[in-house]
């Protein structure tokens, strides 16, 4: 086997191993019992607050449901340190 062919095989093998070890980025739609929903990148938890977590497909299916209030990300609401409840932001 030629050196070029060996390098090509080694590169392909290394790339496939690297891809299999890489974890995909997680994104969640987080909702509380009052129907407030917002985007998070991880499953956040706050004492005394019950949250449910969904994927983008769930959001697409429920985007027009009247029960849910959708809160878009902005600079005033850091989902790492707070949550929505009945339309009001609470710093956690």
For residue 71, tell me if it sits in a domain. Answer: yes
* Total number of domains constituting the chain: 1
Residue 10 has pLDDT above 60, yes or no: no
For residue 35, tell me if it sits in a domain. Answer: yes
Task: Retrieve residue 16's tokens.
Answer: 């496939």
For residue 8, tell me if it sits in a domain. Answer: no
Residue 69 has pLDDT above 70, yes or no: yes
Q: What is the pLDDT of residues 11-67, one digit of tens each?
A: 444 444 444 444 455 689 999 999 999 999 999 999 999 999 999 899 999 999 999
32 alpha-carbon distance from chain centroid: 16
pTM flag (> 0.75): no
- Non-local (6+) Cβ contacts of 87 within 8 A are 34, 36, 69
For residue 6, name the pLDDT band (cuts at 50, 70, 90). low
For residue 43, tell me if it sits in a domain. Answer: yes
For residue 9, tell me if it sits in a domain. Answer: no
Cβ pair 69, 86 in contact under 8 A: no
For residue 44, tell me if it sits in a domain. Answer: yes
For residue 54, tell me if it sits in a domain. Answer: yes
For residue 7, tell me if it sits in a domain. Answer: no
The boundaries of the domain holding residue 56 are: 28-91
pLDDT at 27: 85
């Amino acid at each position: 086997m030629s050196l070029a062919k060996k390098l090509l095989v080694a590169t392909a093998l290394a790339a496939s191993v690297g891809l299999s070890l890489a974890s995909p980025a997680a994104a969640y739609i987080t909702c509380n019992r009052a129907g407030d929903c917002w985007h998070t990148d991880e499953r956040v938890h706050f004492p005394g607050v019950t949250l449910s977590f969904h994927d983008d497909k769930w959001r697409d299916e429920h985007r027009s449901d009247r029960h849910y209030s959708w809160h878009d990300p902005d600079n005033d609401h850091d989902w790492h340190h707070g949550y929505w409840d009945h339309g009001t932001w609470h710093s956690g």
